[in-house]
Structure 1
Amino acid sequence: MLCTLPAFWCAVSVTSATSYIFTQAQCQMGLRLVDMGTLNAMTYGGMIASAVIWGFLSDTLGRRKIIVWGLFGTGIIEVISAFSQNFTMLLIMRFCSGFLFNGSFAVLVSYLAELHRTQLRARVILLTSLFFTIANTTLPLLAWALLTREWHFKPFGDVFATAIVPLFTGLAFLCLPESPKFLMSRGRNEEAMVIFKRIYALNTGKSPESYPVSVIRRNR
């Protein structure tokens, strides 16, 4: 659950961060009103264009891989986007950012649901809504802190203001297991058993070998 908080922050950042830089970008790039509207729409265009692709890949490659590589890819695109020198480059980067992030964000809720038992699943999904609200308050605070002040100490400039979150979130999800439900749906019951034992050991403090289930069979 703690890993999902920065993941939702990434979602807000990818879809809304452009709005906060319009004041400076309008002067530096000579953006018109239609240009600013197109930039905002381009992110959602990338998300819409990639919906079917990510749905197929998440059911083929796994939930965790899509989340990790989607977040890493988004972070890299955000870094490149920060170096944009013209409207066309910024437009392409916003499309790519939405295209890549849509996969990890769409799979995230499924991943959470599949990692929790039925009694907790609804509560977990409800908490993610709260995290999304918190993320919506942190982005304006970040913009206020960065854009309204002159920073004299800039070890990396302003490049990593929005890119650092998806990169570190991707690293965090590397430490989490694949969804056991996905593994079982692909017939990889042995791998699912290893994950169940690991979760059991973390939750109870007992040895993984004491896990009460010894065999997983698919219902016919």
Structure 2
Amino acid sequence: MALIIPDLPDEWDITSSSSGVLAGVVFIGMGCGAAFWGVLSDRIGRLPVIVFDIAIALFFGMLSAASQSWVTLAVLRFGFGFAVGGLLPAGSTLVVECSPTTAVGLSVGLAMNLFSVGAILETLFAEAILPQLGWAVLLVVSAAPLALPLIVILFVVRIVESPIWLASQGRISEANAALSHIARTNGVPFSAPGDKGEGTDASASRGPFWHQMWTSISGGGSGRGALSKEAAGGASADGGTNTTTSSSGGSEEVDGARVARDRAWALLCSLFGKREGLVLVLALLVLWLSGPFAYYGIVFILPTWFDSNVPSDWRHWCDVLTAVAELPGNLLAGYLGDLIGRKPTMIILYMAAAVCIFISGVLADAVSYGGSNWQVVLTMACFAKVFTTGLFTMLFLYTPEAFPTPVRNLSLGFLSIAARVASAVAPTIGSLAYDASTMSSFAVFGTSCAVGMLAGFALPFETKNRDADAVHEEQDDSMTRIASTERTPLVKGLVKKP
């Protein structure tokens, strides 16, 4: 939105306040969407939410080009942000749950790089399209690529639902089938040691995508999503008796989807009832506020500084170079996360970001007095972008791994609201600080990263190779158990070849 606001029609009477609304409404939509889609993703699955989000974002993105007033544009961009807000949590969670444990970090880093590539392309498109064709064409060109993944998922390539989520719903045979498909795709031998025919036939999840999605949304249909009483632990999360249905084999079964909902509630109560859970949530809340606040603050401050201190023929390339710097940041975070662990990497990235931002501020301030040159500031700013971008990768890696499956996306969605709040207030605070002095603005965002570093030390545990579901089941015996004996060998079966 920041790219097109200067090119909106004069008759719309764009004021500074309406510009602020247009600039922030997408982030507000993303915050609302993160919470809504996070809850829904834990209820109906990761893949249906991703498909819905892409379709809704495509609809509102294309319709935005037909806006006849800034109010209409703001409403439509809110809808666009609402869809995109759920896409990041659901997509990153699906990557985490479908990746081998030895390469989860790198997988998330590669996935996050796609967003960075999109941001770079958007900058280049704006440079080429806005002067000649206008803002409406740019919105169409920006939204149109969303049709490609929608077509691919629906009609071309079979994308499977998260096997971990399927298992948490009691759909063990479907989880086996999903893992088998992943194994075949990667050329890895696979057998399902825990598949004894519970719930549903494995072939059911090999059907068309629409059938798979309907199965998830409808809660599994007749005979689906069912667990034996023994697998479910024989009791609901609140200690009551589970509703039973008759299976084809004549044994009593419980509704796996209902058990999963009861278990999710029990898990939330358990998390907030333990000191470790409270520390985890509070530390992550600070991390989700401080990191994105610094990232979006730097994104806002750097172009402003470049406009005042860099030759006009280099300003655009400074924006491009700082955007390209995000690519190694995502990969570095993912690689280090797999190598030394998520928590140490989080601390290192926040510390490095704080140092680079402070140094950038000192150098930028010195340019005004002839004590430095803009090329040095650009170099240090690129390093700052590397580390602040890596923070996002680590947040989207650590957070899903820290919470058990039934509340994973709910937790990620609500915590990512903090990032949207930070992104909304960062430009305003940065602008006020920049008016005081250049160093003040950089100091605000550097301090934010320093606070995030301290919050990283407060994280109660490392999530690398940690099974959050198993940990919570061991900590609370009253919690409903959903196929815990089958899930562990299923997920670990893809880590390495036998």
* Structure 2 CA distance for aligned equivalents of residues 164 and 20 of structure 1: 18
3-state SS of paired residue (2:484): coil
Aligned to 1:161: 141
Aligned to 1:58: 41
Contact map agreement 2:180 2:191 (CA 8 A) in 1: no
11, 14, 19: which is aligned to 1:31?
Answer: 14
Contact map agreement 2:129 2:137 (CA 8 A) in 1: no
* Structure 1 CA distance for aligned equivalents of residues 109 and 87 of structure 2: 19
3-state SS of paired residue (1:134): helix
Q: Percent identity?
A: 24
- The equivalences for 1:60-99 within 5 A come to 60-99=43-82
Distance 1:28 1:143, change over 3 A: farther
177, 183, 191: which is aligned to 1:212?
Answer: 191
* Structure 1 CA distance for aligned equivalents of residues 50 and 128 of structure 2: 29
Larger Rg: 2
Deviations 1:188-210 (A, max 9, x none): 11111111111122211x8xxx7
Aligned to 1:171: 151
Contact map agreement 2:122 2:142 (CA 8 A) in 1: no
* Structure 1 CA distance for aligned equivalents of residues 40 and 120 of structure 2: 32
Q: Structure 1: any 5+ residue segments left out of the alignment? A: 1-17
* Structure 1 CA distance for aligned equivalents of residues 123 and 139 of structure 2: 17
169, 182, 196: which is aligned to 1:199?
Answer: 182
Distance 1:139 1:158, change over 3 A: closer
Contact map agreement 1:74 1:101 (CA 8 A) in 2: yes
* Structure 1 CA distance for aligned equivalents of residues 4 and 11 of structure 2: 11
Contact map agreement 2:46 2:94 (CA 8 A) in 1: yes
Distance 1:106 1:28, change over 3 A: farther
**Length-normalised TM-score, structure 1:** 0.80
Opposite residue 192 of structure 2, the aligned amino acid is V
Contact map agreement 2:65 2:137 (CA 8 A) in 1: no
* Range moving further from structure 2, 119-128 or 179-188: 119-128
Deviation at 1:146, TM superposition (A): 1.1
Q: Structure 2: any 5+ residue segments left out of the alignment? A: 197-482, 486-498
The number of residue pairs the alignment matches comes to 195
Distance 1:150 1:136, change over 3 A: closer
Contact map agreement 1:113 1:121 (CA 8 A) in 2: yes
* Structure 2 CA distance for aligned equivalents of residues 158 and 134 of structure 1: 17
Opposite residue 172 of structure 1, the aligned amino acid is V
**Length-normalised TM-score, structure 2:** 0.37
Root mean square deviation of aligned Cα = 2.3
Opposite residue 84 of structure 1, the aligned amino acid is S
Contact map agreement 1:68 1:171 (CA 8 A) in 2: no
* Structure 2 CA distance for aligned equivalents of residues 102 and 171 of structure 1: 21
Bigger RCO (CA 8 Å, 6+ sep): 1
* Structure 2 CA distance for aligned equivalents of residues 212 and 99 of structure 1: 40
Contact map agreement 1:47 1:99 (CA 8 A) in 2: yes
* Structure 2 CA distance for aligned equivalents of residues 190 and 55 of structure 1: 25
